[in-house]
């Protein structure tokens, strides 16, 4: 153990705040036991926890009213304490909508199942929109804006984003857009990707906002997106309000191989955090080096394109790989133009190649350096793995695309399980 940096764990406390989804009204702050809080980059995930009903103090806060499925949101607060139990810092690593609860007479508990805010958009149908030569980030925001605004705007000709401020019913719902309610006209004054696209969305296609977020972000070279919770307006004597903010990143979000985000399975590695467990998988089942994509139409007029691994920087022939082929077929609502078809095929090729080597089930201590409050989903993680697993000491770097937090509670330190994408040795 010589040379090992002393591991000083953060003193942690978690609090779970519940608010009304529509009005934003605080309902209760309740303790959760055995909580598990998952987040994925550019998608939706889930969470769970158990509210004990044996404590009279908990029952006085009316946990039944505070956890109504589909109507309430849980905001997880991570508090760092000093040795005198004074608050050093407070962050909000997770938020989600309560979707299910189970009550048990024998255990006198309330088990909650939740979904992160992006999961809400899996239940919102995209309305009619047309975008020609519009930046991809602006298209994303337009879909989001419409999902937030409707059904509060119910005129026969709903205004396009930017034409008016949100109506009064939205004033209590500061969750779902960057800033306050960003109805800016297709992203004016907001960060852009620099990549334009044509998109037509029809309500009759019955596509959800989450489906279109994923489709748009996965086309071409792709981009990352993330919705994350914050609390704003805190001041002495004043309690701030919760809201969700949106982060968009082209071609990705997060820090690239930062020197402070390193874990190792070697206890003598003084420059890294503790890497407790992991699994390395090399899976070529979904990986191809030639893709043929088909779009709208039929017969000789059907849109068609192909993409090779070499066109995205992977010289498979130079490394002696045989030909692996597959087709990509989208609905006509997705692949209406040649440019979109080309971009979708390229995106599918990049995603497939990036999926071949995965480092999954990575488990680290969240209360030891690098601590959970120092990094986010989207950042690169560096993992130093000994020869017992890889045959030779190996360093793997990959973008953290998912994490599951097991918050600290008596008898259990904070642990975080990570998944990586695009891992390279």
Residue 57: give its domain's CATH number: 2.30.110
| Co-location of 320 and 300 in the same domain | yes
Q: What is the pLDDT of residue 357?
A: 74
Antiparallel, parallel or unpaired: β 72-81 and 46-52 = unpaired
Which whole-number Å values give the CA distances from 348 to 42, 119, 206, in the listed order?
15, 23, 23
| Co-location of 45 and 111 in the same domain | yes
Cα–Cα distance measured from residue 88 to residue 230, given in angstroms and rounded to the nearest whole number? 17
Mean pLDDT of the 48-70 span: 93
Mean pLDDT of the 53-71 span: 92
| Co-location of 32 and 174 in the same domain | no
Confidence of residue 238 (pLDDT cuts 50, 70, 90): low
Task: Evaluate if residue 304 carries a pLDDT over 70.
Answer: yes
Residue 4 lies in a domain: no
Confidence of residue 151 (pLDDT cuts 50, 70, 90): low
Cα–Cα distance measured from residue 267 to residue 1, given in angstroms and rounded to the nearest whole number? 7
Helix axis angle, 136-149 to 209-218, nearest 10°: 170
Mean pLDDT of the 231-254 span: 79
DSSP-assigned beta bridge partners for residue 80:
12, 89
> Among residues 309, 330, 354, which one ends one of the domains?
354
Query: Is the separation of the CB atoms in 262 and 384 below 8 Å?
Result: yes
* Average of per-residue pLDDT values in the chain: 83
CB neighbourhood size of 364 (10 A)? 25
Residue 215 lies in a domain: yes
Mean pLDDT of the 314-343 span: 79
Q: Which domain holds residue 85?
A: 11-117+230-239
> Among residues 354, 371, 399, which one ends one of the domains?
354
Query: Is the separation of the CB atoms in 195 and 136 below 8 Å?
Result: yes
| Co-location of 339 and 403 in the same domain | no
Q: What is the dihedral of CA 322, 323, 326, 327, to 10 degrees?
A: 170
| Co-location of 210 and 128 in the same domain | yes
Structural domains in the chain (count): 4
Residue 250 lies in a domain: no
| Co-location of 173 and 80 in the same domain | no
Which whole-number Å values give the CA distances from 293 to 7, 132, 218, in the listed order?
52, 22, 14
| Co-location of 62 and 204 in the same domain | no
| Co-location of 64 and 206 in the same domain | no
In 3D space, the residue among 130, 144, 186, 161 whose CA is nearest the CA of residue 337 turns out to be 130
> Among residues 354, 382, 406, which one ends one of the domains?
354
Pick from 42-51, 105-114, 176-185, 395-404: least confident: 176-185
Confidence of residue 283 (pLDDT cuts 50, 70, 90): confident
Residue 248 lies in a domain: no
| Co-location of 212 and 336 in the same domain | no
Cα–Cα distance measured from residue 165 to residue 312, given in angstroms and rounded to the nearest whole number? 43
Cα–Cα distance measured from residue 230 to residue 186, given in angstroms and rounded to the nearest whole number? 24
């Amino acid at each position: 153990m010589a040379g090992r940096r002393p591991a000083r764990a953060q003193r942690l406390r978690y609090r779970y705040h519940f608010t009304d989804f529509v009005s934003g009204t605080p309902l209760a702050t309740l303790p959760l036991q055995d909580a598990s809080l998952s987040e994925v980059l550019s998608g939706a995930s889930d969470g769970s926890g158990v509210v004990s009903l044996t404590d009279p103090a908990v029952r006085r806060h009316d946990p039944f009213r505070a956890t109504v499925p589909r109507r309430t949101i849980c905001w997880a607060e991570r508090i760092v304490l000093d040795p005198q139990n004074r608050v050093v810092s407070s962050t909000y690593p997770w938020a989600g909508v309560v979707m299910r609860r189970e009550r048990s007479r024998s255990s006198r508990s309330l088990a909650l199942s939740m979904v992160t805010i992006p999961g809400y958009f899996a239940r919102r149908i995209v309305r009619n929109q047309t975008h020609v030569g519009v930046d991809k980030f602006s298209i994303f925001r337009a879909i989001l804006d419409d999902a937030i605004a409707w059904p509060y705007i119910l005129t026969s000709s709903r205004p396009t984003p930017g034409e008016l401020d949100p109506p009064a019913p939205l004033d209590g719902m500061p969750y779902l857009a960057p800033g306050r309610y960003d109805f800016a006209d297709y992203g004016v004054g907001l960060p852009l990707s620099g990549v334009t696209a044509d998109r037509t969305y029809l309500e009759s296609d019955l596509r959800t906002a989450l489906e279109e977020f994923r489709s748009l972000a996965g086309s071409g070279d792709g981009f990352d997106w993330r919705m994350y919770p914050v609390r704003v307006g805190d001041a002495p004597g004043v309690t701030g309000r919760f809201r969700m903010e949106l982060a968009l990143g082209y071609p990705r979000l997060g820090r690239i191989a930062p020197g402070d985000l390193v874990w190792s399975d070697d206890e003598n590695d003084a420059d890294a955090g503790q890497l407790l467990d992991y699994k390395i998988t090399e899976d070529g089942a979904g990986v191809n080096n030639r893709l043929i994509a088909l779009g709208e139409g039929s017969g000789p007029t059907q849109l068609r394109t192909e993409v090779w691994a070499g066109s995205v920087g992977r010289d498979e022939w130079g490394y002696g790989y045989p030909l692996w082929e597959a087709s990509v077929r989208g609905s006509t609502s997705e692949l209406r133009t040649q440019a979109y078809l080309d971009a979708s095929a390229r995106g599918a090729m990049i995603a497939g190649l990036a999926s071949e080597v995965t480092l999954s089930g990575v488990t680290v201590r969240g209360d030891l350096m690098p601590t959970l409050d120092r990094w986010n989903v989207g950042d690169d993680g560096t993992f130093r793995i000994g020869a017992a697993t890889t045959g030779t000491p190996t360093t793997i770097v990959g973008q953290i695309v998912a994490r599951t937090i097991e918050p600290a509670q008596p008898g259990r330190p904070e642990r975080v399980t990570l998944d990586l994408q695009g891992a390279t040795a």
